[in-house]
């Protein structure tokens, strides 16, 4: 049955040829290659749970009196969006699970993209010929952050509404076009009632569609250019070593997808996220205390907090304070991020192709620079908790804030040389980072000590063998019968001589015999 189906399609679409190449596509075994898969699978979770949410969520800021099952808010005027979010959480069966999974998956999604990107950065995988894919990848990061923010704003609760208020001010702060951009985005002055439906359509349709498109481009380029790989036994710039798509990778990656779903589910079962009913509906004159945005907005919030109170005024115009931390900083951040492959190539004059990854320690300058930059954003992230820290440590907010202003400058300046030194030290220790066999210290009856290596572990006994080239060794070559005799086209191939010509597939009544599960006897 499957054979027949396969043949049916194969005869019409000709899948065998490229399909076989796909089956043999090699995926490197290193764990760091899994991080991108987490991103992919949490996006799939987002799509699945998101579709469920759209069935019940009402994207409208129209005022209604809440009549649902959550008693403390019953009788209060709330927006339809907020009411439907409560409804999702309390009345729809499995709704709270889907909402929490959606939110957790969003956090995992952005997180895994960031870690994935750090892997690419520190191993130099972005170098020629993969600059384009770096740009697509970093665009995906930006879109993921944006879409997360849009989704976060939809329930119209006190916390997300405050976030919207701040974003209005941020858009407003753009020189020249700011107030127009903000009015057009919100459909008028803040708060207006256009923003929820608008964000909704961006969140559930437009940005996901763009993300799906870019994701396909990302993976398409990956297939076309093939994976990079770490240096290792049998790994050369001319091959890729690892597990083939079929069956090993398919099994492992499907398993991995299920595990990603499971982890998201566990988080949503055990840890509450975004309990909007505790925040209450958004009202412009109410404040929410100790408000933290989702983690991936933390660095922006921190930057807003530690920015000194400057503002540029002159010639009848103003560049407001929030412009610097909330427009200029992300602008520079994402600009440099996207252009990094070209910036680095210009600095190193390295324009060669690279298929073999760097170990971070072997590129101490890049590694130190990356670590310093990362530490800067980490400090900003920490600064988004100034009020929480001040409370927790019982010190004055003033002290906390001032320290963060200093830390933002000092930490990167310290991290750079320290990382640089660590890299250099690791370079000089050849076994650094390798798994060592433990030594066992023995004490003899006389009290003397001696050391012997511990017993081998099971993993050590599997002999490491050279990679077996899949595509070169099992090729069927279809040639014209006469060409073989003439030695045409196969001149370079040493295997041809000792193989027997096989008759072409038998064709009866226009149907082909044989199929994927009928392996010719000779190869069984």
Partner 1 sequence: MPDEPDATAGSQERDDPPRRVRIPVASIRTDAPQFQIAARNPRRAEILAGSGFLLAAAGFAGFGAAYWQNYSNFWLGLTFSVGFGGLGYGMVVWGKYLMPRGPFSESRHDLAPTSVQREEFVQDFASRGKVAVERRGFLVKTLGLASGILGVVLAMPFIRSLGPLPHKVLRQTAWRRGSYLVDITGRKIKTGDLEVGGFTTVFPETDIGGAYSQTMLIRVDPPPASGYLKPPPQFAKQRATWAPQGYIAFSKVCTHAGCPVGLYQELTKKMLCPCHQSLFDVTDAATPIFGPAPRPLPQLPLYIDDEGYFRAQDGYDEPVGPGYWERGND
Which residues lie near ligand HEM (CB under 6 A)?
Answer: 46-47, 50-51, 53-54, 57, 85, 88, 99, 102-103, 106, 109, 144, 147-148, 151-152, 154-155, 203-204, 208, 211, 274
Among the listed residues 205, 209, 266, 409, the single contact to partner 1 using CB under 8 A? 266
Q: Which is nearer to partner 1, 25 or 366 (CB)?
A: 25
SS (H, E, C) 326-363: HHHHHHHHHHHHHHHHHHHHHHHCCCCCCCECCCHHHC
Interface characters, 73-112, with partner 1 (x: CB under 8 A): --------------------xx-xx--xx-----------
Choose from ligand HEM, partner 1, none: what does 159 bind? Cβ within 5-8 Å by kind.
Answer: none
Interaction of residue 20 with partner 1, rule CB under 8 A: no
Residue 258 binds which entry of partner 1, ligand HEM, none, with Cβ cut-offs from 5 to 8 Å by kind? Answer: partner 1
Q: Concatenated DSSP letters for 44-81? A: HHHHHHHHHHHTT------EEE--SS-GGGTT-EEEHH
Biggest distance spanned by C-alpha atoms of the chain: 91
* Least Å from the CB of residue 344 to partner 1: 20
Query: Rule CB under 8 A: which of 148-187 touch partner 1?
Result: 162, 165-166, 168-170, 172-180, 182-187
Out of ligand HEM, partner 1, none, what residue 57 binds, judged by CB under 5 to 8 A for its kind, is ligand HEM
Least separation, in Å, of the C-beta of 89 and ligand HEM? 7
Closest to partner 1 by CB, 203 or 361: 203
Q: Which does 517 bind (CB under 5 to 8 A by kind): ligand HEM, partner 1, none?
A: none
- Distance separating alpha carbons of residues 24 and 116, to the nearest angstrom: 24
**Measured distance CA(399)–CA(373) in Å, rounded:** 24
Binding flag, residue 273, partner 1 (CB under 8 A): no
Q: Which of residues 390-409 bind partner 1 (CB under 8 A)?
A: 397-398, 401
Which of ligand HEM, partner 1, none binds 355 (CB below 5-8 Å, type-dependent)?
Answer: partner 1
As to burial, measured by CB atoms within 10 angstroms (0-12 exposed, 13-18 middle, 19+ buried), residue 90 is: middle
Rounded-to-integer distance, Cα 204 and Cα 201, Å: 5
Q: Taking CB within 5 to 8 Å according to partner kind, which of ligand HEM, partner 1, none is near residue 330?
A: none
Decide which of partner 1, ligand HEM, none touches 208; Cβ closer than 5 to 8 Å per partner kind.
Answer: ligand HEM
The total of other beta-carbon atoms located within 10 Å of residue 36's CB is 20
d(CA 385, CA 395): 13
Q: How far apart are alpha carbons 211 and 220 in whole angstroms? A: 14
Token match 């976060």: residue? 152
Which of the listed partners (ligand HEM, partner 1, none) does 88 bind, with a CB threshold of 5 to 8 Å by partner kind?
ligand HEM
Angle at which helix 397-428 crosses helix 364-383, to 10 degrees, equals: 160
- What does the per-residue mask of binding to partner 1 show for 350-379, with x meaning CB under 8 A? -----x------------------------
Give the integer Cα–Cα distance in Å for 84 and 58: 6
* Using rule CB under 8 A, residue 477 touches partner 1: yes
Query: Environment class of residue 202 by beta-carbon count within 10 Å: exposed (0-12), middle (13-18) or buried (19+)?
Result: middle
Structure token digits, residue 312: 């540029």
């Amino acid at each position: 049955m499957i054979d027949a189906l396969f043949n049916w399609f194969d005869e019409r679409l000709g899948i065998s040829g490229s399909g076989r190449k796909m089956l043999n596509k090699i995926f490197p075994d290193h764990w760091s290659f899994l991080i991108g898969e987490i991103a992919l699978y949490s996006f799939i979770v987002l799509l699945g749970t998101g579709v469920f949410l759209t069935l019940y969520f009402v994207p409208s800021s129209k005022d209604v009196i809440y009549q649902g099952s959550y008693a403390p808010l019953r009788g209060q005027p709330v927006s339809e969006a907020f009411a439907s979010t409560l409804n999702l959480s309390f009345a729809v069966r499995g709704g709270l699970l889907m909402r929490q999974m959606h939110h957790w998956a969003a956090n995992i999604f952005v997180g895994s993209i960031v870690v994935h990107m750090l892997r690419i950065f520190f191993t130099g995988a972005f170098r020629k010929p993969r600059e384009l894919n770096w740009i697509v990848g970093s665009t995906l990061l930006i879109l993921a952050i944006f879409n997360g923010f849009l989704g976060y704003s939809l329930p119209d609760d006190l916390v997300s509404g405050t976030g919207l208020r701040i974003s209005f001010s941020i858009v407003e702060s753009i020189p020249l076009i700011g107030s127009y951009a903000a009015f057009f985005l919100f459909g008028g002055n803040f708060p207006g009632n256009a923003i929820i439906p608008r964000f909704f359509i961006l969140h559930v349709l437009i940005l996901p569609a763009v993300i799906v498109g870019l994701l396909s481009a990302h993976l398409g380029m990956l297939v076309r250019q093939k994976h990079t790989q770490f240096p290792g036994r049998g790994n050369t710039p001319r091959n890729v070593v690892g597990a083939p798509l079929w069956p090993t990778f398919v099994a492992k990656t499907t398993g991995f997808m299920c595990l990603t779903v499971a982890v998201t589910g566990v988080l949503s079962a055990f840890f509450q996220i975004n309990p909007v009913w505790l925040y209450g509906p958004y009202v412009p004159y109410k404040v929410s205390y100790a408000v933290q945005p989702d983690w991936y907005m933390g660095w922006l919030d921190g930057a807003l907090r530690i920015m000194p109170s400057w503002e540029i005024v002159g010639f009848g115009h103003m560049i407001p304070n929030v412009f610097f931390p909330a427009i200029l900083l992300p602008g520079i951040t994402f600009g440099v991020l996207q252009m990094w492959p070209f910036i680095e190539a210009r600095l190193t004059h390295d324009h060669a192709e690279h298929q073999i990854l760097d170990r971070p320690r072997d590129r101490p300058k890049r590694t130190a620079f990356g670590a310093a930059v990362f530490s800067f954003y980490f400090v900003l992230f920490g600064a988004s908790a100034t009020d929480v820290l001040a409370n927790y440590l019982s010190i004055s907010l003033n002290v906390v804030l001032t320290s963060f202003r200093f830390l933002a400058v000092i930490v990167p300046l310290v991290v750079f040389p320290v990382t640089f030194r660590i890299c250099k030290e690791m370079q000089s220790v050849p076994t650094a980072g390798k798994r060592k066999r433990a030594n066992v210290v023995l004490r003899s009856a006389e009290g003397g000590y001696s050391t012997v290596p511990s017993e081998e572990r099971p993993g050590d006994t599997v002999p490491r063998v050279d990679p077996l080239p899949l595509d070169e060794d099992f090729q069927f070559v279809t040639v014209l019968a006469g060409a073989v005799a003439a030695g045409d086209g196969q001149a370079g191939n040493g295997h041809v001589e000792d193989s027997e010509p096989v008759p072409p597939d038998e064709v009866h009544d226009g149907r082909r015999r044989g199929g994927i599960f009928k392996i010719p006897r000779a190869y069984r």
